[in-house]
Structure 1
Amino acid sequence: MEIFALFAYVVIGVLAGLIGGLLGLSGGVVTVPCLVLVFHLLGFPQDVLMHTAIGTSLSAMVLTGIASTWAHHRHKGVMWDIIMLLIPGIIGGCLLGAFVSNFLSGIILRVIFGVFIGSLGIYVLLQKKKTQPGKRPHKTIYSLLGLGIGFLASLLGIGGGVFMVPLLISHRFSEKKSIGTSAASGLLISIMGSLAYLYFGLKEVGVADSIGYIYLPAFALIGLGTVFFAPLGVKWAHRMDPTMLRKIFAATIILVGILMIFK
């Protein structure tokens, strides 16, 4: 079983890297559900299983975020002015989300995870394409949005792309710039979130080879896979038709949401 788990971590890393680079999701929508399954097969305690999956996902996404953000930046796909406006809120939201998750059961976290990303997928799928450039929200609004996105992303361990991409698209930014900017914000979220889960998990009874809520073997192998395959996903994103890219994004998170709710 341990050999299977090690192989699974590598595969998860490859998939997370490709999807993170392609869709700006930081790979969390793939990593968390897959880790829940693998940790269950390994016999992890149920009271810390979901929290460990989230913490490990966030820590692995640091490497994903570095690789995909750099690749998107090279394609001029990151709106750094928006990132700077989001930073204060994201930092506070990440710390708050990790703190709140410490008081929620694994089942509740899993259902919240599924409902949120499934609903967002439906929203993106049904959203009509807007052709006229829209006004950007006030700077204060971006700080508040960063707080909300950081909170939900840290609470659920999914980076923030599932929230950031629909948000930017709704403000009439292009799909490619929305995905690139999402990847950059996801890097900050994953750094703050993983540090918070490490700290809060130190007080809990964990499993061998873990620090706090971060399981080190999974972190290392998943992170390695994402570093090599996230740039490939970015290349695909900048070559694909925007409408098709939006549909793939929506279908992916709807499917994952359903699987998590009815697991």
Structure 2
Amino acid sequence: MLVYLMLYALAGAAAGVLAGLLGVGGGIVIVPVLSVLFVWQGLPTEYLMQMALGTSLASIMFTSISSMRAHHKHGAVRWNVVKMITPGIVIGTLLGSKLAAWLSSGFLKGFFVCFLYFVAAQMFLNFKPKPSREIPGFGATSGVGGFIGVISALVGIGGGTLTVPFMTFCNIPMHQAVGTGAAIGFPIAVAGTVGYIFGGMDKAGLPDYSLGFIYLPAMVGLVVFSMLTAPTGAKIAHKLPVAKLKKVFAAFLLIMATRMLFQIL
């Protein structure tokens, strides 16, 4: 168990840097790593992906706080956007986590890979919105939040992978989009964690030290180091030019998608 705790800690350190750098919760790294480590540990294969997703979201609750505080110090969090999108985010994430409890691990892995390729392509194309486009009103923004919440729960991420492109599409500067995405990750993670806890409460055969689909030893290992490294990622983000930050974001997604695709094949 000690070896696995060290591996969880390393994954958490990497996820923390990415959370601060890219405004994501780190789940894009955590989910693939957990899916491998859980196999090595001999955790139940029928619930493997659900446990990876649930544990990822549980760790993001803490990572997002550290990342959010670091970006807030730089004045990069648009709190008006956070307030508008959060109601939809919470409802969508709860629905998505409930749905994930009934889907197979194979389907969830495939969905995750397709999702990553789609977002990476969008960022590489560097689509430029009309200069007049702005964040829509409360209803529309909350509706977008609902969609993001469902997807985030199904792939175990903090939502920055979708919220950052959405905000740049609405002409919010990249650095502010990353900072705001980090803040939005918190309500996604809280709602998703609650959903995965209750979604796994009635499942037989889950390993010891599990709370629903949350595997607590992995969550603790991830959290400790991710909270320490998230501010470092935020500092790097605010030193990088916007164009380079977008390319780093897209390349990172492409690498992780290809890695998971090879796992599936």
1:200 deviation in Å? Answer: 1.0
1:111 deviation in Å? Answer: 0.5
RMSD of the TM alignment (CA)? 1.2
C-alpha contact 2:64 2:186 (8 A) present in aligned 1: yes
Partner of 1:60: 59
Partner of 1:162: 161
1:225 aligns with 2:221: no
1:129 deviation in Å? Answer: 4.6
Distance in 2 (CA, whole Å) between partners of 1:138 and 1:89 is: 13
Partner secondary structure for residue 172 of structure 1: coil
Partner of 1:31: 30
C-alpha contact 1:201 1:213 (8 A) present in aligned 2: yes
Partner of 1:237: 237
Partner of 2:10: 11
1:255 aligns with 2:227: no
Q: With structure 2 as the length reference, what TM-score do the two structures score? A: 0.96
Give deviations 1:156-201, integer Å, cap 9, x for gaps: 1011111111111111111100001101111110011011101111
Query: Aligned letter for 1:57?
Result: S
Please list every run of 5 or more consecutive structure 2 residues that lacks an aligned counterpart in the other structure: none
C-alpha contact 2:199 2:212 (8 A) present in aligned 1: yes
Partner of 1:69: 68
C-alpha contact 2:135 2:167 (8 A) present in aligned 1: no
Distance in 1 (CA, whole Å) between partners of 2:149 and 2:95 is: 8
C-alpha contact 1:118 1:255 (8 A) present in aligned 2: no
Residues 202-213 of structure 1: pairs in structure 2 closer than 5 A: 202-205=201-204, 206-213=206-213
Q: How many residues align?
A: 262
Partner of 1:216: 216
C-alpha contact 2:209 2:216 (8 A) present in aligned 1: yes
1:183 aligns with 2:182: yes
Partner of 1:123: 122
Q: With structure 1 as the length reference, what TM-score do the two structures score? A: 0.97
1:139 deviation in Å? Answer: 2.2
Query: Aligned letter for 1:254?
Result: L
C-alpha contact 1:114 1:257 (8 A) present in aligned 2: yes
Partner of 1:148: 147
Partner secondary structure for residue 262 of structure 1: helix
Distance in 2 (CA, whole Å) between partners of 1:257 and 1:207 is: 28
Distance in 2 (CA, whole Å) between partners of 1:203 and 1:91 is: 23
* Greater than 4 Å deviation, 4+ residue runs: none
Query: Aligned letter for 1:246?
Result: K
Please list every run of 5 or more consecutive structure 1 residues that lacks an aligned counterpart in the other structure: none
1:112 deviation in Å? Answer: 0.1
C-alpha contact 1:58 1:191 (8 A) present in aligned 2: yes
Q: 1:236 to 1:131 in 2, by over 3 A?
A: farther
C-alpha contact 2:65 2:186 (8 A) present in aligned 1: yes
